Amino acid sequence: MDRLLVATEAERATVGALLRCCVREVAGPRGQVWQLTDHVSLRVGGVLIRARASGGIALRLGQGEWLRDGAWEPLSPEHLVALISEELGGDGNEEFAGQVAGSQAVMEALALAREEATPPADPWLASEQSLLHGHPFHPAPKARSAAKGDWLSYAPEAYARFPLRLLGVRDDVLVEEGDPGALDRLGPAPDGYTVLPVHPWQYELLDLPLGDGRLIDLGQTTGYATPTSSVRTVYEPDLDKCLKFSLDVRITNCVRKNAWYELSGSVELSRRLAPVFADLAETFPGTRWLPEPGYRSADLGTRLLEGLGVLVRCSPWGRIGAGVTPVLAGALAVRDLNPSDPLAWWRAYVERVALPVLEAYFRHGVVLEAHLQNVLVGLDAQGRPVEAVFRDLEGTKLVGHDLSGVRREVAAALTYDAERGWNRVVYCLFVNHLAEIAATLERRCPLRELWAVAGDVLAAYAETRGRPRRLAELLAGVPLPAKANLTVRWSRAADRNATYVPVANPLARPL
Ligand SMILES: Nc1ncnc2c1ncn2[C@@H]1O[C@H](COP(=O)(O)OP(=O)(O)OP(=O)(O)O)[C@@H](O)[C@H]1O
Ligand SMILES: [Mg+2]
């Protein structure tokens, strides 16, 4: 592909992501969006904008244009950022334009790097490394802001692979919970030390005190790790484990640091969720999860305890059924899906993915963050969805559980109230995930029919569970909560304080 084409594609993806955010968060709430048969119009910063639109609430958009002196002209990212700033005003946000431009530059560099490199042979890892444009409703989906480091060498989308750095932690400052024992197989450590892997980028970013003997440098692993879609979680083939590292890099809304209470909380959840998932798998065969049995770090103050904290996560290959291939849901959403029977494929998808998430909430008080990046779908040899693998315990929360005996900060970070938990479930599962898969299938089958099938599956489930109020409301067509990512970036708020905006509910049907 030539450079000009790559630049144009990155620009279009950037305008598209910004426009989607504008429809939801900027123009929508101000009553300045007009959805027409084949396009959407909106007014931002006093200017009228339009783009071809399909995909329902997933808003798959064509080229954005703005109305200048009565004629439509292509809309550039810089112009749209200026219009957003005009509309949102206030004290402004000098970071915002830089994040958007940074994200666009990363997309361009990634597209060029992919031309030169070879994707992984493992189909699961190839799917992890396929999210070239990233989160479709984020203003700067590919921004990677860090103090230093060559981000491209660590980028999953550039098909990166790299050795990990190994440290030795002296036993008197070793911190671990659960069972992180798999890490010992990465290499030998001298007597009195335990081996601790570090993401090589984090190794550059942290100022490590290697002088006093509490922490020693053991060089690099001989094997190569492969980064997954979250950038900071890698797959280590010699261990057949995923390792979730801290990375002092802002990716979408968070600097990706494992807080001490999250490290502890993930191990706590791995214990508590074992019986929950056993039950879910019995009721809904094909339900899997990736436990995080332990973490390891060094007791050298909070900055290093968190900066070096690494969680061990089971790999999907060890959990999925024979003959089944795990594929990242987010990768399916950007593939040219072409099942022979789209409605049957979709029904199976909704049954595998949605029902265990709803059952986890209603029956077990467990909030699964089933967004496109946290779910792997198990496809059989014919490409049909037969399993769903849920991962990422950091976003998994408990509603109404007795957490006495768990440290206060850990328990607080694990707990949601019922309302907050439900909003999270609905946003992740329906808005972030199912709406995107449905939009991708729209080329093969009208959205109306897809959502009617989803409605049937959910209604049948609701019947068997005494029609829970929240689910009945959802089926009655109440608006869905959509996370306001542009607003979070604009206000520089913490991700946990992100708000929701209402979007149309595609499950709503005529009486
Ligand atoms: N549709 C999407 N929804 C949410 N995140 C997405 C989406 N597409 C891409 N992403 C990316 O996936 C990551 C999601 O963040 P999340 O907090 O779930 O993962 P993590 O905790 O960093 O890692 P892991 O999932 O390995 O535990 C971010 O890097 C985000 O940019
Ligand atoms: Mg995740």
DSSP 55-72: SGGG-EE---EEEETTEE
End-to-end CA distance of the chain: 50
Neighbours of ion ligand 2 (CB under 5 A): 373-374, 392
How much is the pLDDT for 187? 96
Residue 350 DSSP one-character state: H
What's the rounded Cα separation, in Å, for the pair 170 and 162?
26
Q: Return the pLDDT at 66.
A: 98
Q: Is 139 in the pocket of ligand 1 (CB under 6 A)?
A: no
| Nearest to 151, CA basis, from 112, 106, 197 | 106
Phi and psi at residue 249, to the nearest 5°? -135, 135
Q: Along the 511 residues of the chain, how does pLDDT read in single tens digits?
A: 788 999 899 999 999 999 999 999 999 999 999 999 899 999 999 999 999 999 999 999 999 999 999 999 999 999 999 999 999 987 678 899 999 999 999 999 999 999 999 999 999 999 999 999 999 999 999 999 899 999 999 999 999 999 999 999 999 999 999 999 999 999 999 999 999 999 999 999 998 999 999 999 999 999 999 999 999 999 999 999 999 999 999 999 999 999 999 999 999 999 999 999 999 999 999 999 999 999 999 999 999 999 999 999 999 999 999 999 999 999 999 999 999 999 999 999 999 999 999 999 999 999 999 999 999 999 999 999 999 999 999 999 999 999 999 999 999 999 999 999 999 999 999 999 999 999 999 999 999 999 999 999 999 999 999 999 999 999 999 999 999 999 999 999 998 889 999 999 999 987 7
CA distance 227 to 209: 26
pTM over 0.95: yes
Q: Whose CA is nearest to atom 23 of ligand 1?
A: 230
Distance of CA 258 from the midpoint of ligand 2 (Å):
12
Alpha carbon distance 131, 268 (integer Å):
31
Ligand number, closest to the Cα atom of 131: 1
Say how many C-beta atoms besides its own lie within 10 A of residue 118's C-beta: 7
Contact of 428 with 397, CB cutoff 8 Å: no
The count of other CB atoms within 10 Å of the CB of residue 123 is 14
For a mutational test of ligand 1's pocket, the pick from 142, 230, 249, 391, i.e. the residue with the most ligand atoms closer than 8 A to its C-beta, is 230
Q: How far does the centroid of ligand 2 lie from the alpha carbon of residue 372, in Å?
A: 9
Question: E strands of 213-324, at which residues?
Answer: 215-220, 226-227, 233-236, 241-244, 250-251, 254-255, 287-289, 294-298, 310-314
**Token pair belonging to 158:** 């550039």
All structural domains of the chain:
3-140 (3.30.310), 161-282+289-319 (no CATH), 320-476 (1.10.510.40)
Could you identify the atom of ligand 1 that is nearest to the CA of residue 432?
Answer: 1
Distance CA 243, CA 236 (A): 7
Helix (H, G, I), strand (E, B) or coil at 51: strand
CA distance 85 to 31: 18
130 lines ligand 1 (CB under 6 A): no
**498: closest CA among 353, 403, 395?**
395
Q: What is the pLDDT of residue 92?
A: 72
CA distance 122 to 331: 14
Q: What span, in angstroms and rounded, lies between the C-alpha atoms of 129 and 135?
A: 13
Does the beta carbon of 251 lie inside 6 Å of ligand 1? yes
Closest CA to 262 of 246, 243, 241: 246
Give the C-alpha separation, 43 to 169, whole Å.
Answer: 57
**Tokens 């692993």, residue located:** 221
Measure the CA–CA gap between 250 and 308, rounded to whole angstroms. 17
- The three-state DSSP-derived secondary structure of 416-464 is CCHHHHHHHHHHHHHHHHHHHHHHHHCCCCCHHHHHHHHHHHHHHHHHH
What is the pLDDT at residue 90? 72
| Nearest-angstrom CA–CA distance, 501 and 233 | 30
Kindly list the distances between the CA atom of residue 384 and the CA atoms of 163, 343, 379, 388, in Å, as whole numbers in the listed order. Answer: 35, 11, 5, 11
- Ligand 1 center to 405 CA (angstroms): 31
Residue 420 burial (10 A CB sphere; 0-12, 13-18, 19+): middle
Q: Is any ligand 1 atom within 6 A of the Cβ of residue 156?
A: no
Element (H or E) spanning 166, and its range? strand 165-170
Please state, in angstroms and rounded to a whole number, the distance separating the CA atoms of residues 246 and 306: 7
